[in-house]
Structures are given as structure tokens and as C-alpha cells.
Structure 1
Amino acid sequence: MTEDFDASGAERGPGRFDLGGGRSVSRLGFGAMRLPASRRGVPPNDRETGLKVLRRAVELGVDHIDTAAFYYHQDGPAANEMIRAALAPYPDDLVIATKVGPYRGPDDPFPSGQLDASGLRAEVERNLTELGLDRLDLVYLRPGGLETPQDEPIGERFAVLAGLREEGLIRRLGLSHVSAAQLEEARRIAPVTAIQNRFDITLPQDAELLAICERDRIAYAPYFPLGGFGIPDDARVNAVAARHGATVPQVLLAGLLALSPVMLAIPGTGSPDHLAENMAAGRLALTEADLAELRQ
């Protein structure tokens, strides 16, 4: 890995996005899903290493961390507990986002079902307790699994979160793994600050919803920004990385940031080395020729 990117990228950095209410975040944040374990079906990561990763992420400028109460290893640490242990009392400028909807039982290796509207308050309160917060900065409703988003009604569930926002337990609301129709349904109930759907520059499958977010200044924070199930072996990305002396993950992240001003990248890792690599992507300035090649 090299971090000697050109000066224009060093001066620009990843940029910031205004979430509203006087709060903006760096467009390069941190996802906590991989803190407990690097992937499904493997032993847990070392907790102390994870705490160091979190502290170093904040030192490197991360002020947006994405997590969930169902991010935990059955035989090891939980992401929320690690975030609290590493960072509380929290910096004033730190935004912690979480998501609710998926159900994970105590013996489930990963979420296997969905909470109905009656279960969402308890899940929000669980996140508050685990993180040691009185109010959550951003809560996403995630109504589906990894399959293509469906147009099932989400109004009843989203209305529960809107009510918790009115009570002061949540500052901002988001949606994860949803369609344009579901976004429209939710916005009739309460403002939507952010979307979290699957997207990476080799799999730009959500262009319609991204365009809506750009039009209405809604943050778009894709999950699996680095491919999710392994780093993509893409000839276009490989060529751009070689030209810049960068790594493929760095090009994937820099490509996302260059694609849209509303894009927030939230790569996650339990490795200090991978953290440094990911954060260096914020200084990688891709050229118009690079971006044209990536779009082919």
C-alpha cells in the first residue's frame, strides 16, 4: 500500500456532508459490522485490537460510525459494547448510526427474521443501553434481508420510529435496503436523512434511488462498499489502482466518493492495517479519465 497520493487529493480529503440540524460528517466513516468477526463462520476477532481500531479511527478523522445491536459474535464481542468501551464518553462531533428491523435470536449466527412494529421500541432501547446514550443520532429501518428490495409496506414500522423521534430518543431517521416506493411511503410520515442500500462501483445497481437522494440532499451510505463477500477482481479497478500506486479497496472507496456528493463511505474492519489503508482512500484524487474508465 502507498499513501503518497497527489497533492490535490491531500488538500481536498473526503469532504463532508450536512445531515441537517447543525451536524455534518466526514464522507469517509467507519462501519462496525466486521469488528466482532472478519466474516461469518470464523472465530471472533480480538476485542482489544478492535478497541484500538475504534480509537485510531477517531484519531484519523472518523466522526460517523455505523453499527447495530445484532452485530456480535456468538462466542466473542459485540460491536455496540466495543464502541462504548473504546469511545465513551463520546466526542461531541461523533455521529453514531444504528439500524433496527432484523431479528437475531440468541442462538442465531446472523439475523433470521424481522421484527414487527411492536418490537422496534425495544430494539431502539437496546441500542441506547448498549451504547450508553440518551438519544441515537441516526436510526435506519431495515425491512428486508439481502435479497432485492421489495415494495412491501413499511409505513407502520417507520411510524414507530417517527414516534420515538418525537419522544426525543432518535434525532434522525434513515432507511436501509429499500426501494424508491418505500422511500416515498416513509417520507409521507417523517423526514428521511439517509439511505443505506447495497452499492459499490462495480455493482451500481441502485442508480434510481441514488438520483433521488442527490435531488433531495439525502445521504447515501452504501453497505458492502468494498464488495461485501470479497474484494471484487475487476479489470477497470485494477488498472486505476496500478496507475495511482493505490490498492483496490482504496480505488473502490475513492470511486464512491467521486461518484456523488451525497455518498458516504463506511468501510469496516477489525484490522489496524486495513483501517489505515481505508482511511488513506480519502486522499486519493481520481482523474476524469479514471472515472470514465470505471463507468465503462
Structure 2
Amino acid sequence: MTMLRLADDLAVGRLGYGAMQLPGPQVWGPPADPDHALAVLRRAIELGVTHIDTSDAYGPHVANDLIRQALHPYPDDLVIATKVGVARDEWRSFNAAAKPAELREQVEENLARLGRARLDLVYLRVGGDGLLHPDGTPLAESFATLAELRERGLIRHLGLSGVTVEQLKEAREIAPVVAVQNRYHLLDRGAEDVLRACEEQGVAFVPYFPLAAGLLKPGLDTSQLPPGMAPSAAQERTLDEVSARHGATRAQVALAWLLGRSPAVLAIPGTTSLAHLEENVAAADLVLTDEDRAGLDAL
């Protein structure tokens, strides 16, 4: 698998694994089949995945506990990235929690749950993409707290999640940023300016919801979706035509498109299916033609 170097001491395969789907429904509680979840994580490593993206808010605690149970002691080349700045409530909502004391507690919780003395990569979840209402803590104050923990040796490298170009610039004036994680996929290019900024500045760009949060699945029931959210018939037709030319799935085409969009991109698709995991990893070897890309870009 092609590698991307995020820093002198940090390199990962360009196609990793996102752990958000490991817990139960609504990213809450244990999975229905914990043994199967453990098998998915172990199979990911067997397939050459060296980058797992998680958060202690997934469950809460469930994803991190499963990762430790499945993979500890960890392979030397495995990079585990986690996110802080967010907490769950009794309604299972994700809420901003970015005060310095909260961030310190979250970092300690991640260390304990994952069984690590130092976290490889920690993202500060900011909410500049509109999916997380800020809690009023200034970005500079929150990021400086993580920079302090990095200086203490508890964090190896820092990242940002859900940011604007301006927020990226502000954070980089405080401490180095090696990766940015924003919403971005075949049907949503709203973070294109952030992607290009990352590309120019040598920062990895890690799209979350790389498979459009399930919207690309064939036969999807769109009756409950808001107007304009589901792919159009024309979009589906283009995606299916490209898939047919390569004997690939829609998901594989979407991942190959992401990886070819910029050399700065890392993909972290998540799944609870062993078959889908293997399909996703195989997408790293799918090479799209110029014709394919022109059609997909036009979506």
C-alpha cells in the first residue's frame, strides 16, 4: 500500500480504517457481536492497514476498548489517531467539550483506554464545518492545551478536525499540524479550500464520511432523507458506469477517486463487515482513467 509521510517520524498507508462504526447503533454502547468487531480489527491489520482512526467518544469508550482488546500489544508500524474536544450526553448527542481541563481529561482517558504511554496523533474537533456547535472556548486556548501535552510527551503529533482555512492558519501559529480531518466525499466538496490549503502546506487531509455516510449504497431507501441529500439518478448512473468498467463496487470507486484527488489525502472508511473491509482495502489498487475522473469530478 502506498504510504504518506505526515512527519519525519510518522508515515501511514493511504487507506486506513475508521472505528466509528464499531460500537452499537448511534455510535452508542457495545456492538451486537463483539467477537465479530474484534475480527474486523484484526483482519484490517492482516490486510496491511497501518492507520486506525478512533475517538473515546465512540461508544463512549467502546471503540477504544475494542481496539486495545483486539490489537494490544500493537504492531510497531500501527498509528492510532484519536479525537478530543467532543463528549456525549444522555441523548447520545456529540457536544463540544474543548475547555483545557476537559481536553486534559480526554487525553488521559484515551491513553488509559488504548493502553499507550503516548498518543500517535490527536485531533482537536473544532466544528468549523458546522457539524459541532462550539462551546465558546477559543481555538487558540484549546489548541495550546494540546500543544502543552505534546511538549510533555503525552502526544506525538497534533491535528485538527472540522476546520476552516483560517482556523488551520491560527492553529499552525501555535504548534505544528500534521493532519486535518474534514467532511469531504464524492458528493460533498465543501472543504475543497481546506484540502488545497493542506496540499500547499504539507498537511495530510483525512476526509471523514469518505463513503458519503452510506448514501452511495445501491438500493438505498431515500424516502426519509431531506430533499437534495440523496444522489440523483444521473449521479448514480455515472457511478455505476465507472464501477462496471472496472468490475468494482461503488465504494471502491469512491475511495479510489478520493485517493486520486490529491496526494495529501488519506482515506479512513469504516465498516463492521469483513467483506466490505476487504473491498475497501482493495480500492487502494484501483486506478481510474482520465475519463472516469472527468465523469466523477462532474458530480
TM-score scaled by structure 2?
0.88
- Select which of 197, 201, 206 maps to 1:216: 201
Secondary structure at the residue paired with 1:203?
coil
The corresponding residue for 2:88 is 104
Instruction: State the aligned residue count.
Output: 279
The corresponding residue for 1:8 is none
Taking only aligned residues, the RMSD between alpha carbons, in angstroms, comes to: 2.1
- Aligned CA distance change for structure 1 residues 65 and 40 (closer, same or farther; 3 Å): closer
The corresponding residue for 2:23 is 36
The corresponding residue for 2:56 is 69
1:289 aligns with 2:276: no
- Select which of 14, 23, 27 maps to 1:27: 14
Question: With CA pairs under 8 Å and 6+ residues apart, which has the higher RCO, 1 or 2?
Answer: 1
Task: Judge conservation of contact 2:184–2:207 (CA < 8 Å) in 1.
Answer: yes
- CA apart distance, 1:288: 1.2
* Cα displacement string for residues 245-288 of structure 1 (whole angstroms, at most 9, x for unaligned residues): 11100011000001100100000011111111111111111111
TM-score scaled by structure 1?
0.89
- Partner Cα separation in structure 2 for residue 43 and residue 64 of structure 1: 22
1:49 aligns with 2:36: yes
Gaps of 5+ in 1: 1-12
Secondary structure at the residue paired with 2:74?
coil
* Cα displacement string for residues 94-120 of structure 1 (whole angstroms, at most 9, x for unaligned residues): 000000011213x34232343322210
- Aligned CA distance change for structure 1 residues 276 and 38 (closer, same or farther; 3 Å): farther
1:167 aligns with 2:169: no
- Partner Cα separation in structure 2 for residue 166 and residue 281 of structure 1: 37
Q: Quick one: which amino acid aligns to residue 207 of structure 1?
A: E
* Cα displacement string for residues 205-259 of structure 1 (whole angstroms, at most 9, x for unaligned residues): 1111111111111000111000015326433222211211111000110000011
1:120 aligns with 2:103: yes
- Aligned CA distance change for structure 1 residues 82 and 149 (closer, same or farther; 3 Å): closer
- Partner Cα separation in structure 1 for residue 45 and residue 30 of structure 2: 26
- CA apart distance, 1:81: 0.3
1:270-289, aligned counterparts within 5 Å? 270-289=272-291
Identity %: 50
- Partner Cα separation in structure 2 for residue 260 and residue 79 of structure 1: 29
- CA apart distance, 1:148: 5.8
- Aligned CA distance change for structure 1 residues 79 and 239 (closer, same or farther; 3 Å): same
Moved more, 183-192 or 32-41: 32-41
